[in-house]
Structure 1
Amino acid sequence: MLPAGNRLRRSSDFAAVIRGGRRVGRGTLVVHATFPLATGVESLTEQPGSVALPGCSASPPATSSAGFVVSKAVGGAVVRNTVKRRLRHLVATRLDSLPIGTTIVVRALPAAALAAYSQLELDLDAALAAAQRPRKSDRAAR
């Protein structure tokens, strides 16, 4: 179970991550992620020229947080809850390895209903790694 401080609860937080973050899809899931602009402990308001995402607070959270979207397309209530429990457990063990202030939304695809726990784990790890890599346009500008 994710601690309360690591959970996304408001729909505006989900919307901000989905609209303003990076999207990486793998076979059983899609990860939407936003990463902090600063790697230090300064807040976004203390940095000149920084912009906060709409619907989010001005300062980055002290921890990383996650939210989950499992639609009815995945299956019935029992299947959806099983998928959510598996994803919550996988994400909870990986939140500490993400940069502080990172916010992710994990959206399960219908294939997640039949996927083994190990497949969900592989897809989540691959998606998180891809989301953290710099974009091609960022690498070309350097």
Structure 2
Amino acid sequence: MRQAATILCFDTRGQGFYPITPALERFVEEQGIQTGLLTIFCRHTSASLLIQENADPSVLRDLQKFLERLAPEGRALYEHDSEGLDDMPAHLRAALTQTQLALPVIDGALAIGTWQGVFLIEHRRRPHRREAALHLIGE
């Protein structure tokens, strides 16, 4: 068994879904592991990860609206607002999604579906530099 690990950085422009599949595919390809498991971990509490449709952008827009309805912004809604009105809603949205994903690697490639992509979700309104820790194990 071989292992490889790295930390990838992604710059966001504010709230939204940022495709990270190409960066993950490059990492897997560079390692030369044919069969294994890639674990991705988001190192933040106000950003998260999601596997979702990558073909129709309206899916991501609808998901964004849904998360906004589930965890709306508002001064009177939350006790925690030390970084602004979007602070606690960002934490809630991250809690409702995922901060870690495990993806199979088969024949040297991510075994995701044709219409699937991996996204970093930025839940804060302002730009951030986000980090994802990657760990690949296999042979």
Q: Normalising to structure 2: TM-score of the pair? A: 0.29
- Greater relative CO, 1 or 2 (CA 8 Å, sep 6+): 2
Structure with bigger strand share is 2
Structure with bigger helix share is 1
Q: Normalising to structure 1: TM-score of the pair? A: 0.28
